[in-house]
Structure 1
Amino acid sequence: MAGYDDQTKRIGDGGWPPAGRPASTPQINVARLWSGGVATAVVAALIGLVGLLIVRVLLQTVPGAANAAEFNDSGAIFICSTAAVAALVATGLVHLLLGTPRPLAYFGWIVGLLTAIAVVVPFLSSRQILTSVALAVIHLVIGIAIGSLVTGAAAAATRRPPVRSGYDQGWDDRRY
């Protein structure tokens, strides 16, 4: 090609012809996303159960704390079922956000802030401080697990279409 030099400055960051058009919306494997969400719900519920069992053992030596309502069987069912529902809601949220720019960044911020709220809430009641600390730690671990597992499921279930180069779209730099 006459007058064409690969070493010359090209227009824009992708050169000329343009490197490609922006990718269209991502393709989402919905079954993969939601199966990851259900698996996350099971993991979150089990984290709640394991956390409560550990707290029951540790607080048996503290007078009055071992009988706290949060650590009896109905409290365990409440925490485990709430953790599972939170994981499913997080999966729905990330599914909704996958159409936004940088969806996992938004999702990370939302889950992080909701986890911070869940950690602080036990301290806003008249519970014993050890009970509040135990609940806050359980909430923190559940929130971290939900955030990381749902993010991983969303990343694994999302595929961006390949960006086609300008040459594939009929660009012809010989005329310019």
Structure 2
Amino acid sequence: MSAPQDGWAGNQDPTRRYPSAAEPQRPSVDAGKLWAGGFGTAVVAALVALVGILLVRGVLGIHILSPSDAGAYGDATTTTYAFGAFAVAILATGVLHLLLLLMPRPMSFFIWIMLLVIAVGVLIPFTILAALESQIATAALNFVIGICIMSLLNSVASIATREPPPPGAGTVRG
């Protein structure tokens, strides 16, 4: 059996693309760590929403997300709000995973995306008819939840990614 005529030798696969030394390799993403951290972030975000509502309604006496006669916890809207914070954190983890896999400088894009989402979350309460103190309290709570998600996922991303070894690393020179 003779060597293949297309320049490939040995057991190299001609259909596989081998990176050249000049091509920068992308960092690898540990999806298990990323999604475990994203789930943890989602739980924290939901709890921040719950604690924030209890603080605003129960301690400060500002009625947000439900009528004033609903008590310190509120009503089903409070639970929905906490689940919404959970869902936003899971969605942000998915966006972060895609960015880590596909984008140059993924954390720069992630932080910009999160800052703009936080801005939307802060502005939305002012577009609905409610007491100004309720609007401010809801905007502040949205801000805290957004910053919580952004900062935790930023930390998770740094732990879940590994930079590729520098070119020539691991080669033995004699």
TM-score (norm 2): 0.77
Alignment partner for residue 81 of structure 1, among 61, 80, 83? 83
What value does the CA root-mean-square deviation take over the aligned residues?
Answer: 2.6
Equivalence for 2:136: 133
Picking from 125, 134, 147, the partner of 1:122 is 125
4+ runs deviating over 6 angstroms: none
How far apart are the structure 1 equivalents of 2:46 and 2:128?
A: 23
Unaligned 5+ segments in structure 2 are 1-20
> How far off is 1:60 after superposition?
3.0
Q: Distance in 2 between matches of 1:101 and 1:162?
A: 17
Q: Which residue of 2 aligns with 1:105?
A: 108
> Which range is displaced more, 71-80 or 114-123?
71-80
User: Could you tell me which of 159, 164, 167 is aligned with 1:161?
Assistant: 164
1:42 matched to 2:43: yes
Question: Residue 25 of structure 2 aligns to a residue in which SS?
Answer: coil
Deviation at 1:68, TM superposition (A): 7.7
Aligned length: 148
Letter in 1 for 2:114: V
- Greater RCO (CA < 8 Å, at least 6 residues apart): 1
Deviation, 1:72, is 1.6
